[in-house]
Structure 1
């Protein structure tokens, strides 16, 4: 095989490059990335692209500094820009109690992303090949990641805002090693690839060799071809699912989205599972760490339909049933809107409660006010209130006598009656006086004790506004 010719053909047939692209090549110094560098360098003028190298020294192995120096030397020899960084991976693993694979992947990609955006690159090129594809598909199979996982690595994809390409995906490790030998590239060898303490290495060094020896010597090629077929069908089904997702989407914001249950439950189970993935991806930007077990848990929610029930997904995303809706939201963002300490509500100014609401308070003569209140404003008899007023989030057991009622009612019951989603309840300002008595449940009712009467002379006007 003429790898240069096939590499060129692969890029053209899959539209991986455009004229003028700035391409950041992730180069470890191993055979795969060194071959990719050599191929790009040979063809950069043909494709009219600029290339640069990036390398992360994770200090995980004693030879990592030598590998970084090797890649830097290659960049100097070729006259190519080079970006590098050191991280203490063993320390990160110990401090955060995460796997070496997960830590390395995160640190590497965070660095790539930083340089990609800082220097305005158009593409990040990674040197995954056909053998990696087979390993990835098997890993995903064992993890229960569904059909999407069985479609393996994509040749071109968007990942956290970065356009990533895999130009070596159609070539085997054997072909890449031969290319290195034929072109005297002398790659570095990663000793950890032989250590069977990582899942991928176990598949590479134990499982695949047995399948090749006992079942099918071309198993990697077979897996790669099947992954391509599955990917094509995935793409087709996802187009249908995206249309159905939009049909049941009520609202979508950066930290939450709401789906209509009635419409959602009319869809086939296959489409619903894909819609769950789309919703998750809208909030997280990728599907990493979302597995079939999570999708099945969401399905259980839909079988129950009890308002307030929910489950936690990876990346601090939560899914809850809320009356006629299924809500996906970022827990950390939503929880940050809860105000743990009361805030002073000052007169004659805008008072920020959280990122969602602001409140205004001012005093007017009774005769100068139209008392036709709406849910976003309240009128209070100033003589009945112990100033100053404060804003806070709800507390457990909160209750008051709403306007026009005789007895006390819990805030919780009012929220339930009004079908306020559980995650929104902590975001709503509760106005209290200096004695701690509830004066106004913002957006709902004032307390009956503070209502304006015929004897009222001065009125405290409260206005609730969106903070935008």
Structure 2
């Protein structure tokens, strides 16, 4: 028997390690597959690994309807998946137009809604996403450029729960080149999404010019180092988040709101996380809650001079009264 090509082995090992994290017994796992090299390699590896771990595996491909022939390509992916033994294998058709945000954000929101709906419908143990080490490096660079702070620099987590659905990213330690080589080794022809080379998208510019320029200037280890930075910052962020959860509970006032004295005693990195979490409890949407809002809330604690209530998204007002931060009517 011919030896297993190293890229195929690398992808299968990554999938095995990710699936081993799931509790047993578990429902099926669903691979989100666009037809690109990353998700094709992931789907093929999952079809091989999952049954050997006693798991069922299926596939969902999302048709965004943004390009000519997208429906046909989605059907081809599903037909290929069914032959591979992935079941269920289905197309989720979404409407992107009319959603808030830019085209990238709108497509991403529609895609995740479809994937979460499929996971709930099939009672899936997890949805597997094909993001690679290169994607992680690009995410860190974009976060740096946008001033994203530690949470942005932490990049994409390998395991995340979103609205009750587990999202697994098995390939964050696998390079994009390895997924392409794995596809070639097992005779798969990936679809090349033209959006990935469209300079109107920030990620496409980072992929085509930004990251290659850094590699040329600083050497090939840049991608690995950026991805490692994400892992290190993610660990620190998780520790701070844990401290903040405990601090939030400790700062709650019997009459409602948060005790200013308790908040003032916290380290700034913990206090700002407490304010983030509390604002979320009040109903402030995370997407609209910015550093400006955090600074204004923090000023009620650390720079109090009788100022009025702070206006948060969704029409929420927070004021300082009787030594407490409280929601104003």
TM over 0.5: yes
SS at match of 1:250: coil
Change (3 A) 1:297 1:198: farther
- Which residue number corresponds to residue 70 of structure 2? 64
In the TM superposition, residue 277 of structure 1 has moved relative to its aligned partner by 2.8
Q: 2: distance between equivalents of 1:2 and 1:269?
A: 47
- Which residue number corresponds to residue 433 of structure 1? none
| Paired residues, number | 320
Change (3 A) 1:97 1:278: closer
Q: 2: distance between equivalents of 1:128 and 1:59?
A: 22
8 Å CA contact 1:145, 1:290 repeated in 2: no
Indicate the larger mover: 170-179 or 286-295.
286-295
In the TM superposition, residue 201 of structure 1 has moved relative to its aligned partner by 1.0
Q: TM-score, normalised by structure 1?
A: 0.63
Q: 1: distance between equivalents of 2:32 and 2:207?
A: 22
In the TM superposition, residue 129 of structure 1 has moved relative to its aligned partner by 0.6
Q: 2: distance between equivalents of 1:209 and 1:160?
A: 36
Q: Which of 315, 318, 328 matches 1:320?
A: 318
Map 1:223-234; keep pairs closer than 5 Å. Answer: 223-234=226-237
Map 1:225-244; keep pairs closer than 5 Å. Answer: 225-244=228-247
Q: Which of 35, 39, 43 matches 2:41?
A: 35
SS at match of 1:128: coil
Change (3 A) 1:127 1:104: same
- Which residue number corresponds to residue 167 of structure 1? 170
Q: TM-score, normalised by structure 2?
A: 0.88
Change (3 A) 1:281 1:9: farther
- Which residue number corresponds to residue 131 of structure 1? 134
Change (3 A) 1:97 1:123: closer
- Which residue number corresponds to residue 17 of structure 1? 22
Q: 2: distance between equivalents of 1:285 and 1:111?
A: 24
1:279 matched to 2:278? The reply is yes
Give per-residue Cα distances to partners, 1:204-228, cap 9 Å, x unaligned. 1121111111222221111011111
Change (3 A) 1:317 1:33: farther
Higher relative contact order (CA 8 A, sep 6+): 2
Map 1:12-411; keep pairs closer than 5 Å. Answer: 15-21=20-26, 22-79=28-85, 80-89=87-96, 92=97, 95-96=98-99, 98-250=101-253, 258-282=257-281, 288=287, 290-302=289-301, 303-304=303-304, 306=306, 308-313=308-313, 316=314, 318=316, 320-323=318-321, 324-327=323-326
Give per-residue Cα distances to partners, 1:68-121, cap 9 Å, x unaligned. 1221211231242123232342xx2xx456311111011111111222222211
Q: 2: distance between equivalents of 1:157 and 1:3?
A: 26
Give per-residue Cα distances to partners, 1:19-58, cap 9 Å, x unaligned. 4432121111111111100000011122111111112211
Q: 2: distance between equivalents of 1:57 and 1:284?
A: 32
Q: 2: distance between equivalents of 1:285 and 1:120?
A: 30
SS at match of 1:321: strand
SS at match of 1:35: helix
| CA RMSD across the alignment | 2.6
SS at match of 1:188: coil
8 Å CA contact 1:11, 1:17 repeated in 2: no
Q: 2: distance between equivalents of 1:121 and 1:46?
A: 18
8 Å CA contact 2:15, 2:49 repeated in 1: no
Q: 2: distance between equivalents of 1:179 and 1:65?
A: 26
Indicate the larger mover: 242-251 or 144-153.
242-251
Q: Which ranges of structure 2 fall in alignment gaps of 5 or more residues? A: none
In the TM superposition, residue 232 of structure 1 has moved relative to its aligned partner by 1.6
8 Å CA contact 1:19, 1:49 repeated in 2: no
- Give 1 or 2: higher strand fraction: 1
8 Å CA contact 1:31, 1:180 repeated in 2: yes
Change (3 A) 1:6 1:290: farther
- Give 1 or 2: higher helix fraction: 2
